[in-house]
Amino acid sequence: MQNQLRVQNLCYQIGKREILKNFSFNCTNGIIALLGNNGVGKSTLMNILAGILYPHSGEVYLNEESLLSHRSYPIEKAGYLPQMFDMYHNVTGYDFLSYVYDVKKLPPQDKKQHLQQIVEDFSLQEVIRKKIGKYSGGYKRRLGIAQAVIGHPDLILVDEPTVGLDPEQRIAFRELLSRISLHSITIISTHIIEDVELYSDKLMIIGNDHTLQFDGTVNELIDLAKPHLLMAVIDKRELNEVRNKVHIIEEKRMADHLIQIKYISRNKTATVLDNSCQVREVSLENAYIYFQHAQNL
């Protein structure tokens, strides 16, 4: 089933301080990455979509059903893994998953088989009967996403999915999210650009003004940035002087005291260094830094 999430003109504020302004977007199955600086409203948006916060205005529709007009949030339709996921350390992983299943009011006759499948899907067999206090960081995140997908919800929200994981655990976790997103809308809020570049189908960037500044694909953002990025090779002794002229987004050490830099101008009047050339290979991180810089010009 192809799910659809439609968000219209969400606004949220604390006192007179605006956290989200006229926020609107549409998305379907796949991984949607949410990027932006700290404090721009990423976690607030996730909490609204999860039913934890209620916006001051706007609408949220999941498969044309309003999530905001329900007397109680339809918890069975969504799964949420917050950034700070932790449970009572003296509870076993299985008891926790069992509790989430019951809270979602899913069919009792299917419970044993469903939880067994969840445990297998997330390779939790080794620890599922152990107390959560004995879990490593990687297993805690696995348990966290496992509880979020109980009942096969249409919408899955994951805040900082790979925080605290080592590189090998991050790869495994990204693969889990990629598999899950085939049948659900999976929105991740992250600061790790690599998580976005490898697995995301859609990218949204919240600007410092708390509005949606970009809504498109990874390739679209890269194509937007590519014409504005230049590369040059400089002597490392000139690095501080060059930093005052241009905005460096990447540095790579070379032989003989040389440094290769990728850069953009610090202002709208282009500053071009000697021997500069156009950047051919632009990473998502390069494009994201350019986009953030361009918004501040």
- pLDDT tens, position by position, 92-116: 999 999 999 999 999 999 999 999 9
What six digits make up the tokens of 159? 């805040």
Q: Which of 251, 253, 121, 103 is nearest to 180 (CA)?
A: 121
- Say whether pLDDT at 86 is over 80: no
Give 297's pLDDT tier (boundaries 50, 70, 90): low
What six digits make up the tokens of 220? 């679209």
- Say whether pLDDT at 261 is over 60: yes
CB 25 within 8 A of CB 204: yes
What is the 8-class DSSP label of residue 92? B
**Residue 288 to residue 190: CA distance in whole angstroms:** 13
Range name among 103-112, 125-134, 257-266 with the lowest pLDDT average = 257-266
Strand order in 246-253's β-sheet? 246-253, 258-265, 230-235, 277-278
Q: Which of 167, 241, 206, 187 is nearest to 79 (CA)?
A: 187
SS3 state at 191: coil
Task: Provide mean pLDDT across the span 140-159.
Answer: 92
- pLDDT tens, position by position, 165-187: 777 777 877 888 888 888 999 99
- pLDDT tens, position by position, 65-77: 999 887 778 888 9
Q: How many helices (H) and strands (E) does the chain have?
A: 9, 14
The backbone torsions φ and ψ at residue 27, rounded to the nearest 5 degrees and listed phi first, read: -155, 160
pLDDT score recorded for residue 108 = 94
What is the 8-class DSSP label of residue 1? -
Beta bridge partners, 55, equal none
Structural domains of the chain, ranges and CATH numbers in brackets: 4-210 (3.40.50.300), 224-295 (no CATH)
**Residue 125 to residue 110: CA distance in whole angstroms:** 19
